[in-house]
Amino acid sequence: MTVIVINTGTELLLGDVLNSHLAFIAREILPLGLRIERQLAVPDGLAIRAALAESSEQADIIFLTGGLGPTTDDITREITAEFLGLELEHDAAVMAAIASRAARRGFRLTDRTVRQAEVPRGATVLPNENGSAPGLYLAAKAAPVKKSPHLFLLPGPPRELQPMFRSSVLPILREIVPPESATDRRTFRIAGMGESLVEEAIGERLLEIGGIELGYCARPGEVDLRIIGERSALDRAEAIISAGLGASVFSSDGGSLEEVVVKLLTDRKQTLAVAESCTGGFLAHRITNVPGASAVFLAGYVTYANEAKERMLGVDPRLISAHGAVSESVAQAMAEGAHQQANATFALATTGIAGPGGGTEEKPVGTVFVALATDGAATQVRGFRFPDDRPTFKELTTQAALEMLRRSLLG
Amino acid sequence: MTVIVINTGTELLLGDVLNSHLAFIAREILPLGLRIERQLAVPDGLAIRAALAESSEQADIIFLTGGLGPTTDDITREITAEFLGLELEHDAAVMAAIASRAARRGFRLTDRTVRQAEVPRGATVLPNENGSAPGLYLAAKAAPVKKSPHLFLLPGPPRELQPMFRSSVLPILREIVPPESATDRRTFRIAGMGESLVEEAIGERLLEIGGIELGYCARPGEVDLRIIGERSALDRAEAIISAGLGASVFSSDGGSLEEVVVKLLTDRKQTLAVAESCTGGFLAHRITNVPGASAVFLAGYVTYANEAKERMLGVDPRLISAHGAVSESVAQAMAEGAHQQANATFALATTGIAGPGGGTEEKPVGTVFVALATDGAATQVRGFRFPDDRPTFKELTTQAALEMLRRSLLG
């Protein structure tokens, strides 16, 4: 079945928000054997009608997101009803849900809120647990036009769309989609190797398998290798990847580096603390994004100021004046200080120059040191140069720190 | 001029990565008076040809991203050359840049890398500062087909595309785009009010101005109001917004809440420390994402374990056993501890239950307390309930904390 996603919203085309719906829907429908063949973003307004018309010719299933809210630029419901030749009717149950939600939150109902209770005749209402605008499902051919695919109208805010998709859309899809094929997907995430080296190491042997689809994706500090095919072909591919890349593959189930590290620590009942200067809390943030991190993560010391390094981690001020805050020895002292203060099995530390200011000839913007202290072993320190924008610098530095810990946990 | 963006990459349609190019390009071209009318994402392969063909009929300018890299799924260059009827030629200057980059980084050249030096005849090469594949520009009508718009082929990785866009694409656009109209854009960011209340407060009076385009966008903990129009109309709109929403508007230049807070602190030469439990470093991360944050941000205490709260912030263990770690009194003690330890003007603290585990009947998942301690004033504590997924919970909690500090800084 051909699936098309239409994302509406002038805010998308003006760059106010990122489109997270495409990735979310893609991941949710793959286990049903469905893939998105095409995605379109159009502004609020009549372009929605044109996108619906052209996509209806090509698609079996359309997901249309955005424009269901209360404000004047929200007109997806009206345009779709008009396109399909369906009348809008006031739905008492939807209205009751909107009113009860507003009462629960202490919001007053406005005229605009009430518009969200209009439903095209024959549509199935998809309840919204996290907002007032419900989603709508129109079954294929339910409308009096020539070809009409299955059409799902979904709210724009991700926190409304995502639970609605899982609780209401997936059950409908399971009814309308033929039983899935044996096709499966695996994603191998690889640290410490560039994209061409990964392909050179294993690409040709993978292509010899046949019947699989390969994709390489370079991300900050990692390469993701995606393989889609039948299970037996995937098993053969996995054997080639393990033999060719070894420990550079940090996950084969799509798990992130922080998930892998938290799992390794949990399995070994070991603990972690972090001392961050240039990454400013991002390393702790990545680790605490993993549900269950509290079992292994004890404390983070975001020591931005030199005085904080001294006071919170016991870094000797003479070290800082002799070598500078961005130095191998200060990274080491920070890791050792956090290790001792938090009484953790491992402590990671970062210190560097994120930029745009603060670089010198000797230590240009992008210079960074990462250290790992642990029980009964010498502290490891490594230097890197990541002369990138601030977010990429933080990504690459935390990736290097987590990879240093992972390698150490592997023994 | 009509602008279309075509994003290629099976990884986009499989949900492996978010499409950040659309938002980036949209923001870069608006000051030239250009807007994206339509965006399309298609998989690697022949769908690229179809997308090019249909978009060439509609567009004056096409930005085509992705598929220029070294691996076998990178075929944008070949498909475009074939579609336009242009031969690919080996470009010695591009090859020299690729070889020198590889040498500088200690990478070996592979056969695949060399493919990136193929250039369609007549194309302008756009140098890549952060990767090996150059971008390509084909001027309108340069190709021997019926209608061919201006076509930019750009690399997939954002850290390669973005600097290339600024250094090579914008100068070309300034040549080919007619002088910009007086149209301008302003974005007002509003905290502490829902979308319908914002529109109710000011929507009708804004519509009376005429000649402006309004957009509302609800995000975690804020509403963004975008206005596009002529400068004089925007000034009138801004007056209505200021009068109607007052201090709820935290920025009118698109600046984020953390940017506003860092600027207010910098202007007042005041300092900040944070003590985080449930937000796990995300509050420090948001603040340190702002360039120049080091002038005001002293330290972050990510006290995930109870023992860390006691040891790092001096929280009395009896408070924790009497009220629980997620309580008004522990939030207060954390803020006061950080305030004192870091010797900062202000200290923010967060403690809550992010979930999915850890909720109780009395304190369900989503319960959170935020506290603000400052010199010579009583510590403020507020309770919230954000029963959301983990990333949204962290967003909403840090938003509430930053807003509490901003209000306090406003006096």
Residues B386, B299 share a domain: yes
The residue among A260, A273, A346 whose CA lies nearest residue A303 is A273
pLDDT at res. A143: 62
Across the strands, what pairs with B269?
Answer: none
Domain count, chain A: 3
Residues B279, B316 share a domain: yes
Contacts of B38 in chain A (CB under 8 A): 13, 40-42, 47
Segment A77-90 shows an average pLDDT of 92
End-to-end CA separation in angstroms for chain B: 47
Residues B403, B286 share a domain: yes
Residues B118, B17 share a domain: yes
Percent pLDDT > 90 in chain B is 68
B166 touches A at CB < 8 Å: no
Residues A233, A139 share a domain: no
Residue A103 pLDDT level (bands cut at 50, 70, 90):
confident
A-to-B residue pairs, Cβ atoms closer than 8 angstroms: 330
pLDDT at res. A130: 85
CATH number assigned to the domain comprising residue A217: 3.30.70.2860
The answer to whether A186 touches A234, Cβ cutoff 8 Å, is yes
Residues A300, A207 share a domain: no
**Out of A194, A207, A216, closest to residue B107 by CB:** A194
Contact between A299 and B292 using a beta-carbon 8 Å cutoff: no
Residues B309, B241 share a domain: no
Q: Which residue of A has its CA nearest to B198?
A: A71
- Those residues of chain B that have pLDDT short of 70 are 105-106, 142-146, 180-182
Residue A132 pLDDT level (bands cut at 50, 70, 90):
confident
How many residues are recorded in chain A? 411
The residue among A168, A196, A172, A156 whose CA lies nearest residue A70 is A156
The answer to whether B229 touches B210, Cβ cutoff 8 Å, is no
Contact between B284 and A303 using a beta-carbon 8 Å cutoff: no
Angle at A335 between CA A333 and CA A341, to 5 degrees: 95
Percent pLDDT > 90 in chain A is 68
Residues A165, A23 share a domain: yes
How crowded is residue B158: how many other Cβ atoms within 10 Å of its Cβ?
22
| Most B CBs within 10 Å, among A17, A54, A189, A195, to test the B interface | A195
Q: Is the pLDDT of residue A193 over 90?
A: no
Contacts of A303 in chain B (CB under 8 A): 299
Residues B261, B303 share a domain: yes
For the full predicted model, state whether its pTM sits above 0.90.
no
Domain boundary residue, one of B193, B221, B251: B251
Pseudo-torsion of CA B273, B278, B283, B285, nearest 10°?
A: 110
pLDDT at res. B143: 62
pLDDT at res. B159: 85
Mean pLDDT of chain A: 91
The answer to whether B12 touches A22, Cβ cutoff 8 Å, is yes
Residues A233, A303 share a domain: no
Provide the domain limits for residue B129: 3-176
pLDDT at res. B111: 74
Q: Which amino acid is at B270?
A: Q
Segment A81-96 shows an average pLDDT of 92
Backbone Cα Rg of chain A: 26
Q: How far is A302 from chain B (nearest CA, A)?
A: 4
Locate A347 and state its tokens. Answer: 């402590």
The answer to whether B406 touches B260, Cβ cutoff 8 Å, is yes
Domain boundary residue, one of A251, A270, A292: A251
Residue A11 pLDDT level (bands cut at 50, 70, 90):
confident
A255 touches B at CB < 8 Å: no
Q: Is the pLDDT of residue A108 over 80?
A: no
The residue among B91, B81, B34 whose CA lies nearest residue B59 is B34
Contacts of B199 in chain A (CB under 8 A): 70-72, 110, 112
Query: What is the Cα–Cα distance from A3 to A27, expressed in whole angstroms?
Result: 13
Residues B300, B204 share a domain: no
The answer to whether B251 touches B411, Cβ cutoff 8 Å, is no
CATH number assigned to the domain comprising residue B379: 3.90.950.20
Strand boundaries in A66-211, DSSP class E: 88-90, 118-120, 124-126, 135-138, 150-154, 183-191
How crowded is residue A140: how many other Cβ atoms within 10 Å of its Cβ?
15
Domain boundary residue, one of A144, A176, A208: A176
pLDDT at res. A146: 60
Strand boundaries in B257-366, DSSP class E: 272-276, 297-303, 346-352
Locate A298 and state its tokens. Answer: 């004890």
Residues B203, B106 share a domain: no
